[in-house]
Each structure stands twice: as structure tokens, then as C-alpha cells.
Structure 1
Amino acid sequence: MMSRLRITEIFYSLQGEARSVGWPTVFIRLTGCPLRCSYCDTTYAFQGGEWLSLDEILRQVASYDCRHVCVTGGEPLAQKACAELLTKLCDAGYAVSLETSGALDISVADTRVSRVMDLKTPSSGEVSKNDYTNIEHLQEQDQVKFVIADRADYDWSCAQVSEHDLTSRCEVLYSPVQGKLAPRQLADWILADHLPVRMQVQMHKLLWGDKPGH
């Protein structure tokens, strides 16, 4: 049987987060997620979507004439054929990133992919879902992201960075929850503690707000 995936949307925009921020990027948003984070901004991707073959997905991606491709969700790894899609994208010569939680096995992703793994903070309500064995699979091109809503999240994130020596494995990202934590406050905490982490804000939201497809 031909592999296929349930897709919420495929769209072209600027990458608003992580290492490739600012690059024109094709986003492939897979449908479905086993988590229900309190701060989720893509709840529309929990259900619905359209079944597409991997070949059809690649044809749509190619139509945008863009080097960077981001596979996101929902939780993309919740669909088994996601790993096959990632490999096909890499084989086609794209610079591929994967946005995933820390709840599912990231080792299934092609090692050429830049994996952005979101370790869930306490305020997410899903901290118990983190699979810390994923940390052993992290490589230099990967990134670990902490989405931070308050001081408790910040302190918890710092403890994880220290306990697992994350900055020696890959780049670490701290991001404030929009509307919950002022970006300046997070910046002040990072500077006060001399943390070797990279702060980020969601550039796409500064440009387009919460409009889907951006």
C-alpha cells in the first residue's frame, strides 16, 4: 500500500522560530496530536485534515521552489509514515527541520533532519509525557526548546539544562508563552543567570498574529 499522511495544511511562509528563523520555508502541518498543552496555538490541527500520498506531498512542496522545509503539527511523529516523508525530503535535497514534542521517539527521524524537540514545561500540563530517553539521541544539528510561561517554568527548564548537560549536546532555546510572560522578563532572567541558551520570540506572530497558515 502506498504510504500516506493526514495533512492539515501545506503552506509557504517565513520560519518564525529556531535556528532557521527568517528563512522562506515550506511548512507541512500534519494532523493530530496525543498531547493537549495549555498554551497550544495550533488546536485546529487536532482533527480533520486530508489524506495525501507522500508523492503528492513532495509535488506540492516542489511547487514552491524553496530549499527549506519544516514538518510540524500537531505532533508529526504520531503518524508512522512521517519518518518516511522526512527521509524522502532529505533525499530530494531539502534542508529539513522537524518540530516535535519530547513525548515520542525522535530516533525514527532521519539523522540529516534538524530536530527541534519541545520538552514540555510544567505549565503545559503535559510535563509527565516527556520521554527523557530522547536526550540520548540528540545531535549537534538538533535543538531543545523550552516554552516558558512563568518563573516556575523557567526554574524547571534551567534544572533540566543542568541535569542533562543539554548545552553540550545541542543548541537550547527558551521561548516565552505569548500573553503569559513578557519577552523582556525572560530576557532579564537569562542575562542575570548568564545562561548559554538562545532566547527566541515567534517572529511570525509579530508579523501576522495568530492567523493560520503563517
Structure 2
Amino acid sequence: MTPPSVRVSEIFFSLQGESSRVGLPTVFIRLTGCPLRCAWCDTEYAFTGGETRTIAEVVAEAGRQGTRTVCVTGGEPLAQKNCLPLLAALCDAGFDVSLETSGALDIGGVDARVSRIMDLKAPGSGEADKNRWDNLPLLTAHDEVKIVVADRADYEWARGIIAEHRLADRCPVLLSPVQGKLAPGELADWILADRLPVRFQLQLHKVLWGNMRGK
């Protein structure tokens, strides 16, 4: 029987730039492919290409990096059917695993040991109609919601969604500005003015290295 495999864009070791794990040395496993085309996407190179590798090979390479913290990202990793067994295999191997997903695809099958970092798409992304709202009741305190904000309209949309779905009562919520579109201080001021129950974040990897691939 052919061993299960995934299409991998890249595997690299860096600092986590987002989520509550920001700053942690992390192995990133970036899977190829994404059904979304967000206006501010910074990983378009992962839409196509990559290399087919068995799950066992991917887990073994992660193990050679010397850290327990692993992030499976994309693209949209859940667009590959074997993402789910990859996540389970990483957990079985003793890794502390997070999944970065757009939230456009069902997260219900993700191994319960995985922290699901779900990126709700604001209108400025051009993909807000792809949000899968049925995912929200599945979130737990082990998960996180991220919303990237391009302007005041996106912020007001995010504020409304956070209130309507009581997201901050369910899991941590993180807001970040689109680099080059919204001044970080402006978003910070809005959050403070509204006393919004969220965590402000910048993409640490971009502060350190810009848009360098593999960082």
C-alpha cells in the first residue's frame, strides 16, 4: 500500500511570528495549495508547486530541527485530505502542534491535541464570503481566532463579529494590521478606545526579516 503523503511547499525553522506562541522557535511545515485568494496574501508562492513527501518523511524532518513546537500552515493546509493524518502523526511523535487555517474549511476533524489558529477573513481580504461560520461553535480555549484588518471598515466588521459570536468568551482573539495598509498604532488606538477584548499583534517575522521567504 502506498504510504500517505502530502504536497509540501517548504519546511523551515524560525521564530513563530503570530498567535500566542509568538517568539517561540518553531518548525514550520508549509503545505501547497489554497482555494482562497486574499488581497493581502504574502505566501502566493505556496499556491502551486512543492514536493510530494510521505507523512513519515515530514515527521522525521521536523524531528531533526531540535524543537517540540511545530506549526502546519499554507496556503490552506486543510485543502489536502492528508493534512489530518499529518497533524495526528506529529502529535503522536510528541510535538506541540498548531494549525494555521483560513477557517473556510471544516476544522471538526482536526486532532483535539492540535491548537487551531483560525483566520477569519474580513471584507478587505476579498474572501469574507468564504468564512465557514459553522466552525465557530467548534472552537475551544485551546484554539485562537485571528483577524487581519486593512482599514476602519474591516475593524468595525471584526468588532461586530467578536460581539455577535462572543468570540472572546470562547478562545483568544488576535487582531493585526495589514502591513503597508494600516498603521499599527492606529489599530492599537481603536482597540484601546473600544476596550475590545482582543490581543493586538504584529507579525514578528516581518519586523525582523521583512518578507524574506523561509523566515
| CA positional deviation for 1:205 | 0.4
Give the distance between the partners of 1:17 and 1:160, measured in 2 at CA.
21
Where 2:108 maps in the other structure, the secondary structure is helix
Residue 15 (structure 2) aligns with: 14
CA shift digits 1:56-92 (9 cap, x unpaired): 0011101101110000000000001000010111111
Residue 27 (structure 2) aligns with: 26
- 2:146 partner letter: K
| CA positional deviation for 1:136 | 1.0
CA shift digits 1:93-152 (9 cap, x unpaired): 111000001100011111111100000000000000001000011011100010000000
Give the distance between the partners of 2:106 and 2:179, measured in 1 at CA.
28
Residue 47 (structure 1) aligns with: 48
Residue 120 (structure 2) aligns with: 119
Residue 88 (structure 1) aligns with: 89
- 2:182 partner letter: L
What residue ranges of structure 1 are gaps of 5+ in the alignment?
Answer: none
| CA positional deviation for 1:54 | 0.3
Give the distance between the partners of 1:209 and 1:143, measured in 2 at CA.
24
Give the distance between the partners of 2:140 and 2:206, measured in 1 at CA.
29
Among the aligned pairs, what percent are the same residue? 61
| CA positional deviation for 1:2 | 1.2
Where 1:106 maps in the other structure, the secondary structure is coil
Residue 144 (structure 2) aligns with: 143
Give the distance between the partners of 2:103 and 2:33, measured in 1 at CA.
16
Give the distance between the partners of 2:174 and 2:203, measured in 1 at CA.
12
State the superposition RMSD in angstroms: 0.5
TM-score calculated relative to the size of structure 2: 0.99
- 1:186 partner letter: L
Residue 171 (structure 1) aligns with: 172
Runs of 4+ aligned structure 1 residues displaced above 4 Å come to none
Where 2:18 maps in the other structure, the secondary structure is coil
- 1:23 partner letter: L
TM-score calculated relative to the size of structure 1: 0.99
